[in-house]
Amino acid sequence: MKYGLVGASGRMGGEIQRIFAAHELCYTLDVTGETSEGVPEVLIDFSQPSALGTTIAVAGRYSCSLVLGTTGLSEAQLEEVKDLGRSVPVVQSFNFAAGVTLFKMILREFGPLFSDWDVEICETHHNKKKDAPSGTAILLRDALGRDCPAHSLRIGGVPGDHSVIFASEGEVFSLTHRAISRSVFAYGALRAAEFAAAAQPGFYSFEEVLTCRRKTS
């Protein structure tokens, strides 16, 4: 598979290149400039919201699939991404760890059973992360189906910890996901890229990747 990478010189860019070692990196874009040695089948972007316009333009130029893991996107930017999905396959998620998607599915299924319990979300990320609460915290809150406080810590080099804590007068029940390293997100991106390379145009979630639900022509 030939792939392109936005933010190639960043920490996540380096991790993606390591995990994608069996595939051919033929296009890169970052603050140092643009390089092209072929036509990518899939473009990967885990960079910054400010790069999204360029990313969409590149995906359109090459008519290639897009795997987008950028967090902190506005509603208007998400609409632009969905619009791109009309012409190419797009897989978008705020978190490409399989466990987080399972976490979301659990909350969606069983969260209503805690409707009369208090609930709050706690999340911790490295001190370079700019958005708070994280996109993952927002994703989990949306899956829960009700508004609740979200508490954010930005310390050290933590890749990502997320907890949803329920409490009644007599008990506390918590669910937690911990990313041990950034490689988990790169492995998820690889799975999404392989899915997108064979998919029809459309806007896909990572849940659809994990359950292999592709749109038919």
Domain coordinates in residue numbering, the chain = 2-95+183-210, 98-179
- pLDDT for 214 equals 54
Is 23 considered catalytic here?
Answer: no
Which distant-in-sequence residues (6+ apart) come within 8 Å of 160 by Cβ?
95, 97, 123, 124, 125, 134, 136, 177, 178, 179
- pLDDT for 130 equals 86
94 CB neighbour count, 10 Å cutoff: 20
Decide if pLDDT at 216 tops 60: no
Is residue 91 within a helix (H) or strand (E), and if so which, with residue range?
A: strand 89-92
Chain centroid to Cα 125, Å, comes to 15
Q: Which has more confidence, 217 or 168?
A: 168
At residue 199, the 3 state secondary structure works out as: coil
Mean pLDDT of 103-130: 96
Decide if pLDDT at 32 tops 90: no
Mean pLDDT of 146-153: 96
**Residue among 27, 35, 24, 37 at smallest CA distance from 5:** 27
Decide if pLDDT at 115 tops 60: yes
Question: Counting runs of H as helices and runs of E as strands, what totals does the chain give?
Answer: 7, 11
Pairing state between β 24-30 and 33-36: antiparallel
pTM: 0.86
The answer to whether 42 and 197 are in contact (CB under 8 A) is yes
| Distance, first Cα to last Cα, the chain | 22
At residue 122, the 3 state secondary structure works out as: strand
Mean pLDDT of 132-161: 95
Same fold, 2-95+183-210 and 98-179: no
Helix axes 52-62, 75-84, angle to 10 degrees: 0
Cα 122 to Cα 196: distance, rounded to the nearest angstrom: 32
Residue 33 φ/ψ region, left for φ over 0, alpha for ψ in the -120 to 50 degree band, beta for the rest? left
**Tens-place pLDDT, residues 11-23:** 899 999 999 999 9
Decide if pLDDT at 70 tops 70: yes
Mean pLDDT of 77-101: 96
Decide if pLDDT at 155 tops 80: yes
Decide if pLDDT at 84 tops 50: yes
For 2-95+183-210, the fitting CATH number among 3.40.50.1980, 1.10.3720.10, 3.60.20.10, 3.40.50.720 is 3.40.50.720
Average pLDDT, the chain: 95
Is 126 considered catalytic here?
Answer: no
**What is the third-level CATH fold of 98-179?**
Dihydrodipicolinate Reductase; domain 2 (3.30.360)
Q: What band does 217 get if pLDDT is binned at 50, 70 and 90?
A: very low
Q: What band does 144 get if pLDDT is binned at 50, 70 and 90?
A: very high
Decide if pLDDT at 213 tops 80: no
Catalytic annotation, pick one of 2, 23, 129, 151: 129
In the sheet where 42-45 sits, what is the strand order?
33-36, 24-30, 2-6, 42-45, 65-68, 89-92, 202-204
Mean pLDDT of 37-46: 97
Catalytic annotation, pick one of 125, 130, 151, 177: 125
Mean pLDDT of 155-175: 97
- pLDDT for 26 equals 98
